[in-house]
Structure formats: structure tokens, C-alpha cells
Amino acid sequence: MTSSLQPPFSARARGKHRQIDGDFPASARSGLLHLISDLVERRYVKDWTVVARELHRIGRLEVVSYDASYGTSLKQAKLNVETALKELRWDRAYDFCERLFSHLPHEIGFEDSAGNYCVDVPVSEIQAYIATELQRLFLEEDLAYEFSEGAVRRRGRKHTVELTAKSQVVLGDTRLSSARRHFDKALQFFRHPTRPDFENAVKEAVCAVEAAGKVLFPMAKAATLGDLIKWLGTTPEVSVPKAICQTYTGVYAFRSGGEGVGHGGANGGKATLEVTEYLLAVCASQIIFFVDIANSMEVDVPF
């Protein structure tokens, strides 16, 4: 459901090259407070006291006792929520978003005339609503993260997301399970909200290309991606333009020589956010291209 949401006009019109990374700005905190208020009014979250307790726990603030049966206590809890949310460290604000989804939803039910308890709004429906609204907030604020499957993940740009999604469909075949594991690791390293590991993301993405190529072209008897590239450039069994082979060579070279990426390379350039996202998109395209080549050779491969 959340994946179908698109950035609103205000976010598209800003024309920023960079998404907001390493921050949860004041405007996003204001939007989150509006969402919390909405959830309390809908009774999707029990009341302000449970929100205040969770924010104080995450922010490591003092323990406050509340009595939800008193209006003054509820009013104090709401004030504490506003204060704690403003002061919460940016990464812990994302932690709170995850807890808001996983631990604070409150099932709505009633007792019928026969004394049986009936569920009116199940927790799963409430969580779906929270996930959609959190993702909407992230898009409105142009944050570099998305909310999916109950967790905050690095979003990546639309082009990268589409390519990686397509490559993962291709990698669904069991014979490409090793390549899929590598690519999944690459995405996990890249998407970590507070400690992204770009070097390992690059390494795993290129390993995914290598693993896919070795399975799809067993006749190459390649031990490495470099061996496979040489075979593709010389074999009469398939026609791959030399310039295209060079794109694989470039990715493999960065895997071997990039700073901190592999083999202790220190002179091949740094795996920055921009470089890593580019490499992820390229590697996803290369995996898809490998499958297309193998299909053209009438090898028994997926799709």
C-alpha cells in the first residue's frame, strides 16, 4: 500500500537534488505530532499517556506516572509528548516511528448483547494505516528514508528503487539464490537509517553480479567476474559489445580498488552515498542484462 504513494506537489516542486539525510527536521516532527493526535482521536493509540511513556523511554528521560482517568493527567501527557518529540535525537525519532507502528496500536472492539467480545478495528488494519501515513510524511518532507515492512529504510531515488525491485524479481529463481543473498545484503547495508555501510553495499552488489553470471553462464568456467567478462568479450556463443563489457569491468575494478571496498584498495575512489546508489542501480541493470543474454542463448534460466 505504501509503495504506491507518490511525493506530493510541494516535494516535487522543491527541485532539491539531495533528500534530507541524517536529520528529522522540525517540520517532520510537527507532522508526526499531527499523526499522533489523529491516532489518539481515532483510538488507534490508547491515549496520550502511552505515547508519552514511549517517548520518554526512547529519549531516556525521567519516568512519569500518569492516571488516564484524570483529564489533567492526559493534558500533562500531551504536553510531555510535544516537549519530548522536539528534543528527541534525530535517529531516535526514527526509532519512535518504528515503535509507533509495532507497539502502540490499540485494537478497537466492543462487547455485543450476548457478552461476546467483537473486534471492530484489528491491529493489522491500524498498522496499515500508520505505515501509510508515516510513508506519506516521509515523502512530504523529502526524507532520504522510507517506511516499509514495519521499519525505516534508506529510500534511494525512484530510478534506483525501480531497478533494484526488478532485479529482485529476476533473482527470485532458486538457482540464483546466492546472487539474491548478496544483493539483499547490499540493500541492507545501503538502507540502514543511521549507520549505512556504503563500502559493503558496493562489495555485495558486485558479488551479486558475479554470482548471477557464474550460474547463468556455467560454460564460461569463470572463477571471478573478471574471468566472466573476458569470456563474454571473446566467446562466439553470444555477442556482447566491447563497450558494454567495459561497464562490467569498471564496476569490478571499483569493487577491487575502491577505498575500503575490497582487497585493501585505497586509491580507487571513495564509496560515497552518490557513488553507492549509482553502483546499486548499475549492478541491478547488469543482473537483468545477464538474464536477458542467457535467455537469448536459450539457456534454461528464469524469465
pLDDT tens column, 9-42: 776 666 555 678 889 999 999 999 999 999 999 9
Chain CA centroid to CA 284, Å: 16
Q: What is the mean pLDDT of the chain?
A: 87
Question: CB–CB of 77/66 below 8 Å?
Answer: yes
The pLDDT score that the predictor gives to residue 178 is: 93
Positive or negative: CA dihedral 198, 142, 89, 66? negative
Q: How far apart are the first and last CA of the chain?
A: 26
The pLDDT score that the predictor gives to residue 169 is: 74
Question: CB–CB of 130/101 below 8 Å?
Answer: yes
Q: Which CATH class name applies to 156-296?
A: mainly alpha
Phi-psi region of 28 (alpha: psi -120 to 50; beta: other; left: phi over 0): alpha
List the single range of 34-48, 84-98, 142-156, 196-210 with lowest mean pLDDT: 142-156
- DSSP for 11-36 reads HHHH--SSPB-S---HHHHHHHHHHH
With H, G, I as helix, E, B as strand and everything else as coil, classify residue 121: strand
Query: CB neighbours of 160 closer than 8 A, spacing ≥ 6?
Result: 277, 280, 281, 284
Query: CB neighbours of 38 closer than 8 A, spacing ≥ 6?
Result: 133
Q: Is the pLDDT of residue 80 over 80?
A: yes
Question: CB–CB of 277/283 below 8 Å?
Answer: no
Whole-angstrom Cα distance, residue 219 to residue 109?
Answer: 62
pTM of the model: 0.63
Q: What percent of the chain is modeled with pLDDT above 70?
A: 87
- With cut-offs at 50, 70 and 90, classify the pLDDT of residue 118: very high
Q: Is the pLDDT of residue 303 over 90?
A: no
**Which H helix or E strand runs over 120?**
strand 117-121
The pLDDT score that the predictor gives to residue 170 is: 76
pLDDT in tens, 96-117: 999 999 999 999 999 888 889 9
Domains in the chain: boundaries = 2-148, 156-296
With H, G, I as helix, E, B as strand and everything else as coil, classify residue 106: coil
pLDDT in tens, 199-212: 999 999 999 999 99
Of 79, 78, 85, give the one whose Cα is nearest residue 31. Answer: 85
pLDDT in tens, 251-263: 998 887 666 565 5
